[in-house]
Structure 1
C-alpha cells in the first residue's frame, strides 16, 4: 500500500503541475480539470500511504480502511484512464493486488 500511495502522490503532483505527459480528452463523462484530478489523486495517495504505514501495527481497523482505500484508488484510476492509460492500468493492478492481499485470510501453519 505504501508503494501504491506513493505512486498516486506522484501522479497527483504531475497533474497539478500540468505536465505535458497527459492526454487531452474532450468528450469524457467525468469532466474535472487536470488540476482537480491531481488534487484527488494527491490526497488519496497520502491517505493510502498513511493507511499502509498503519498496517504495520497489525490493527484490524487498518486492514478495513486499507480495503476501502484500495478500492477507491482502483476506482479513481479507472476514471483517470483517458488521461494516462498505462499509469492507470499499472495502479489499478497494484490496487487490485492490495485488495486481494488484505481480503485473503492469513493461513495458520499446522504443527504436526
Structure 2
C-alpha cells in the first residue's frame, strides 16, 4: 500500500499551525509565570525556601532578575509565535530551553513552581520542534 501523505496538504498545515499556536500559548503562560516569579523574588517575598549550601547559590534578587528578564523575553517570543514564522520558532526553542535550565537550577528556592515551568517549557519545545520546516506557513 503506497503512502499518499502530502506535507503541504491543508490538514498538515492546520496541524503545524495548531502546534505552533499551542506552543505560543504555553510560552505566554510560562513567560507570565516567570515574570511574576521574578517580581516576587526581587521584592523578597516569603514564599521562597532558603537553601544553605546550594551549589548554584545566588541572591534571591539575582534569581529574580534572571526570571524577570527571561519572562519578558518569553512573552515577546510568545507573541511572535502567533505569526507561525521560522525565526519565532527558533527563538521560542532557545528561550524555552533557557527557562527550563534556569528553573531547574532554582528548584530548591521554589520547587513546585519550578517543576510547573519546566513542564510548560518541555511542551513548548516539543510543540515547536515537531513541526517540520516544510509545514511552515510563513512566506
The two structures have a TM-score, normalised by structure 2, of 0.75
Q: Which residue pairs with 2:53 in the alignment?
A: 27
Match of 2:106 in 1: 80
SS at match of 1:75: helix
* Correspondences of 1:13-24 after superposition (within 5 Å): 13-24=39-50
Structure 2: gaps spanning 5 or more residues: 1-26
Report the number of matched residues: 108
Higher RCO (CA 8 Å, separation ≥ 6 residues): 2
- Structure 1: any 5+ residue segments left out of the alignment? none
- The answer as to 2:121 corresponding to 1:69 is no
Q: How far off its partner does 1:57 sit? A: 1.4
Q: Which residue of 2 aligns with 1:58?
A: 84
Over residues 25-82 of structure 1, what are the superposed CA-to-partner deviations in whole Å (9 max), with x where a residue is unaligned? 0110111100000000000000011000001112210000000100000000000100
Kindly report the root-mean-square deviation, in angstroms, between the aligned alpha carbons of the 2 structures.
1.3
- TM-score normalised to the size of structure 1? 0.93
Misfit runs of 4+, over 6 Å? none
* Local SS of the residue matching 1:21: coil
